[in-house]
A and B are shown apart, each in its own frame.
Chain A
Amino acid sequence: MDAVTPVVRVEQLTKIYEVGDQRVLALDHIDLTLMPSEFVAVMGPSGSGKSTLMHLVGLLDRPTSGRYFLEGRDVAALSSDDQADVRSRRLGFVFQSYNLLPRTTAVENVELPMIYAGVPESERRKRALEALAAVNLSHVVDHLPNQLSGGQQQRVAIARALVNDPSMILADEPTGALDTKASQDVMELFKELNERRGITIFLVTHEPDVAKNAKRIVTFRDGHIISDVAAADAVLS
C-alpha cells in the first residue's frame, strides 16, 4: 500500500518574529498537507500569515518550531547550503515584481537557476528556450526586460521558475502588478502547468478573482487557518 508522498507536509509549524520587545506570532501551530498536482491558493488579509507560510515552505526562512517535510524529506533542519540546493532543484519562485535581472536578456534570465543547479552550459540554453516556448515567449528570447510588457516579464519569471523542473512553484501575488488581461493569461499558464505537467502550485494572493483559478483555497487570519476548502465550494467575498 504505497501511499503517495505529499509534496508538502507541515506539522505544528510556528513562526514568531521578535521586533524589539514585542513578540509577533505570525504562524500559530499550522498543520497543512499538499499532495502532488495540487493547485492551492492561500488567501487572507495582510499580516494573516500567508506570506510567512510561503517563506517557510519556500525555505527562505526558518520556523521557530514545528516540522516540515518536502517530498517526504525533513528539510527544516538542513544547513543553509543544503536548503539552497533544495530551492534550486525542487522549487520555483514567482514574485509580484518579476525580479528579472536588468540589462539581461529573457533567455539569460531563464538560465540563471540552472547555473546554480550545476546544469552544464551546453544544456542550459536548450532548456531555457524550451521553458520560454512553454510560456509562449519564443519570439522575444533575446529581449531585455525593459523591452517586454508586464505580462511578458512575469511569463519570463514563470519560465525561470519552471526550468529546473521543480515539484512545486511558489507564486507570491504573481498578478499584483498586472492588468486584468495579463492576469488572466498568467493564471491560465499556471493552470496549464498544473494540469499538463502536474506541478504543484502554491499561490499566495488576496484577490478572490485570482484565487478562484485554484483547485483548493486555504484562508488565513491572525496566523491560523480559518478555512480550507475546494475552490468550487469556496464562498468568495
Chain B
Amino acid sequence: MNLLQSLQVAGRSLLRNRTRSLLTMLGIIIGVAAVIVTISIGAGARVSVQQQINGLGSNLLIIVPGSVTSGGARSGLGGASTLTPADGLALAALPHVAAVSPMVTAREQVIANGSNWQTTISGVSPSYTFIRSWPLASGTLFSDTDVAASAKVAVLGQTVLSNLFPNGGSPIGSTILIKNVPFTVTGVLTAKGQSSSGQDQDDTVLVPFTAAMQRLTGQTTVAELMVSADTSDDIALVQTEVTTLLEQRHRVVAGQPDDFNVRNLQDIANAASATATVMEYLLAGVAGVSLLVGGIGIMNIMLVSVTERTREIGLRIAVGARSMTILVQFLIEALLLSAAGGLIGIAFGAGASLVVAKVSQWPLQIPPSAMVIAFGVAAVTGVFFGYYPARKAAAMNPIEALRFE
C-alpha cells in the first residue's frame, strides 16, 4: 500500500462525508483567511503610509523657525522669524545635500481672465519641484535667474488652473493678478491630490520666493526651508550638519534651545511603520489563535470520526490493513482537510483583502510568503492535531472494533 493509494482511500473517505468534511475545514478556512487578510491589511497600510510620506518629498528635512517669547507668551513653532534665504544658500553648500528650497507662503486673491480665486501662494526656488517629486504638466518652471531678478512669473496648480481658466485652453503666457501685481504664467503643475492631512495640494501657485517676499509678504525671512538629502541613508547625517550650521549662523549659545526646528520625515515614516508592525503582530496573533482553534476543531471531528468509524477500522484491519496504513490514512485525511481548508482560506482571504483594498483605497498587498506560511501552518496544524486520533484508530483491537455498536 503506497502513499498514493493511501491518498485515494483518504480522499474517498472524505468525499463520502462531504458535509462533515466541509464543517471540519471551516475552522481552518476562517483561520487562514484571517491570517491572509490581517497580513494584507498590515502590508497595505504600511505601503500606503510610505506612499504618502514619499509624496511629501524624497529624503526630506523641513526646517521651521523656533518659538518666540513675547511678553511671556510663547508663540509656538514657526512663530519666530529667524530663517533667511541666506541660511538656505549656506545649507545648499553642505555635503550630501541635494537641493534646498526656501518656502514663503501667503494666502491671496488671484484674478485672471475675469475669474478670481483665493489660494495659497508658495514662494519657492526652482529646486522645489525636485524636492517634492512634483513634475510640471506643461510649460516651464522659473529659473535661478528669475529668482535673482524677483521675476513676476508663476506656475499654477491644477485646482487653481481649473478655477481661473474653466474653459480650458493653455494659460501659459497669460497674465494673472496676485494681490493686484501682474504675474506671467509660465507653466502648470501635474495633479498631486490630497495630502495625508486631507489638504488639496493642487490649490496653489508657485512663484519665485524673492518675488513673494518683495511683492506679497514684505518680509525678509522665510516660513520654512526644505532640504533634500542625496540618499535616505544620509538623512540623519544631513540633519546633524544642518543643525550645527544653523546653530553657528544664528549664534545659538550652547545649552540654550535652538531658534529653529528640524523635522525629519523619515522619523515619521519609521514611527508609522513601527505602528504598522505592532498592528501586524497583534492581528497575526489573533489569526494564529483562530488557526489553533481550527486545529482543535479538526482533532475533535477526527476523534468523533474515529469512534463513528470503529467498525470500518476493524474491518480494514481484518482484511489486511497494517496499523501503520491505518495511521497514515487518518493522518492524510487530517492533512487533506487542513490543506484544502488552507487553500479555500487563501482564496477567501485574498477576496476579502481585495474588498478591503478597494474600500480603503490602499494598494492591494498579499505577500506570497503570507500565503505560503498560512498554508504551511494549516497543514502542520492538521497533522499535529490529526496524529492523536490517527494513533487511536491504528491501535484498535479488530475484534472489539468489529463488535462495536
Q: Is the CB of B315 within 8 A of A88?
A: no
What 0/1 pattern do residues 110 to 123 of B give for CB contact below 8 A with A? Answer: 00000000000000
- Partner of B319 from the list A55, A81, A102, A112 (CB cut-off 8 Å) is A112
Q: Is the CB of A60 within 8 A of B320?
A: no
Residue B316, interface by CB 8 Å: yes
Q: What residues on A are CB-neighbors of B324 within 8 Å?
A: 81
Residue A101, interface by CB 8 Å: yes
Interchain CA distance A160-B317 in the complex, whole Å: 14
Interchain CA distance A117-B321 in the complex, whole Å: 8
Q: What residues on A are CB-neighbors of B16 within 8 Å?
A: 102-104
Known: A115-B1, A118-B1. A84 touches B315 (CB 8 A): no
Q: Is the CB of B312 within 8 A of A101?
A: yes
Shortest CB distance B312–A (Å) = 6
What 0/1 pattern do residues 100 to 127 of A give for CB contact below 8 A with B? Answer: 0111100010001101111001000000
Q: Is the CB of B398 within 8 A of A88?
A: no
Q: What residues on A are CB-neighbors of B152 within 8 Å?
A: none
Residue B311, interface by CB 8 Å: yes
Residue B402, interface by CB 8 Å: yes
Q: Is the CB of B312 within 8 A of A84?
A: no
- Partner of B316 from the list A55, A103, A116, A164 (CB cut-off 8 Å) is A116
Residue A5, interface by CB 8 Å: no
Q: Is the CB of B1 within 8 A of A60?
A: no
Shortest Cβ distance from B15 into A: residue: A103
Known: A99-B402, A115-B1. A87 touches B319 (CB 8 A): yes
Q: What residues on A are CB-neighbors of B1 within 8 Å?
A: 115-116, 118
Interchain CA distance A189-B190 in the complex, whole Å: 92
Q: Is the CB of A88 within 8 A of B319?
A: yes
Shortest Cβ distance from B325 into A: residue: A116
Residue A49, interface by CB 8 Å: no
- Partner of A61 from the list B12, B17, B321, B399 (CB cut-off 8 Å) is B399
Q: What residues on A are CB-neighbors of B402 within 8 Å?
A: 95, 99
Residue A180, interface by CB 8 Å: no
Q: What residues on A are CB-neighbors of B323 within 8 Å?
A: 80-81, 84
Residue A93, interface by CB 8 Å: yes
Residue A215, interface by CB 8 Å: no
Interchain CA distance A215-B16 in the complex, whole Å: 42
Shortest CB distance A128–B (Å) = 13
Shortest CB distance A80–B (Å) = 6
Known: A99-B311, A101-B315. A89 touches B399 (CB 8 A): no
Q: Is the CB of B315 within 8 A of A116?
A: no
Shortest Cβ distance from A82 into B: residue: B322
Shortest CB distance B245–A (Å) = 82
CB interface residues, A 37-92, toward B, < 8 Å: 55, 58, 60-61, 80-81, 84-85, 87-89
Q: Is the CB of B320 within 8 A of A99?
A: no
Shortest CB distance B319–A (Å) = 4
What 0/1 pattern do residues 286 to 318 of B give for CB contact below 8 A with A? Answer: 000000000000000000000000011011111
Q: What residues on B are CB-neighbors of A101 within 8 Å?
A: 312, 315
Known: A101-B315, A115-B9. A81 touches B399 (CB 8 A): no
Shortest CB distance A57–B (Å) = 13
Shortest CB distance A102–B (Å) = 8
Shortest CB distance B398–A (Å) = 5
Shortest CB distance B396–A (Å) = 11
Interchain CA distance A88-B322 in the complex, whole Å: 10
Shortest CB distance B82–A (Å) = 85
Residue B240, interface by CB 8 Å: no
Shortest CB distance A109–B (Å) = 10
Residue B167, interface by CB 8 Å: no
Interchain CA distance A87-B402 in the complex, whole Å: 15
Shortest Cβ distance from A93 into B: residue: B318
Shortest CB distance A99–B (Å) = 5
Interchain CA distance A85-B5 in the complex, whole Å: 16
Q: Is the CB of B312 within 8 A of A88?
A: no
Known: A55-B399, A61-B399. A87 touches B318 (CB 8 A): yes
Interchain CA distance A103-B309 in the complex, whole Å: 12
Q: Is the CB of B320 within 8 A of A89?
A: yes
Q: Is the CB of B319 within 8 A of A80?
A: no
Shortest CB distance B290–A (Å) = 31
What 0/1 pattern do residues 364 to 405 of B give for CB contact below 8 A with A? Answer: 000000000000000000000000000000000011001000
Interchain CA distance A121-B9 in the complex, whole Å: 12
- Partner of B321 from the list A60, A84, A102 (CB cut-off 8 Å) is A84
Q: Is the CB of B322 within 8 A of A112?
A: no
Q: Is the CB of B320 within 8 A of A113?
A: yes
Q: What residues on B are CB-neighbors of A61 within 8 Å?
A: 399
- Partner of A84 from the list B5, B9, B314, B317 (CB cut-off 8 Å) is B317
Q: Which among B320, B322, B402 has the greatest number of chain A C-beta atoms within 10 A? A: B320
Shortest CB distance A160–B (Å) = 7
List 8 A-B pairs, Cβ < 8 Å.
A84-B317, A84-B322, A87-B319, A93-B318, A95-B315, A99-B311, A104-B12, A108-B12
9 interchain residue pairs of minimum CB distance: A88-B320, A116-B320, A113-B319, A103-B16, A99-B315, A84-B322, A81-B322, A87-B320, A116-B321
Extra pairs beyond A60-B317, A95-B402, A104-B12 (15, CB < 8 Å): A60-B399, A80-B322, A81-B322, A81-B323, A81-B324, A84-B317, A84-B323, A85-B322, A87-B318, A88-B319, A89-B320, A95-B315, A102-B16, A104-B16, A112-B315
Question: A residues engaging B (CB < 8 A)?
Answer: 55, 58, 60-61, 80-81, 84-85, 87-89, 93, 95, 97, 99, 101-104, 108, 112-113, 115-118, 121, 160, 164
